[in-house]
Amino acid sequence: MVDCCLQTLSNRPVGVDDRATFSEIARWITVGALFVCLILVYAWSHNEILSIRYHMEQLKNESDELLEINAALRVEYSSLINPENVEHRAMELGLVASNRDEVRILDSTRREIQPSERMLAQSNFQKKTLHE
């Protein structure tokens, strides 16, 4: 049998040690919260990095497409400004070369243009004001 008089009880005293236990729990909760916050910040930054990489890849693909379009347009431009092609296309449309004496370059700064006998048409620049 067990003698209850000789046995000591190992209960913790109430008071000062309980406050230490609460502060210890508070410390562990704080450490856990900081750890969770660090994990969330890492996940957010990793997500942002992936998003930026995805956007950069899209821009790179778009840039490659624009470079291809630019190359095609340069080829088309060089074929369009080739004088032989221009002359051939003009002949297909039924256009004829003009006489240099009949060609007159108009200067937009001059207001009065003296008509000549050989001039077929004349264009005058007129400013119109709009009333709103």
pLDDT tens digits, residue range 27-81?
Answer: 999 999 999 999 999 999 999 999 999 999 999 999 999 999 999 999 999 888 8
> To the nearest 10°, the Cα dihedral for 61, 63, 67, 70?
120
Cα Rg for the chain, rounded, in angstroms? 45
Distance between CA 52 and CA 46 in Å, rounded? Answer: 10
Distance between CA 90 and CA 86 in Å, rounded? Answer: 6
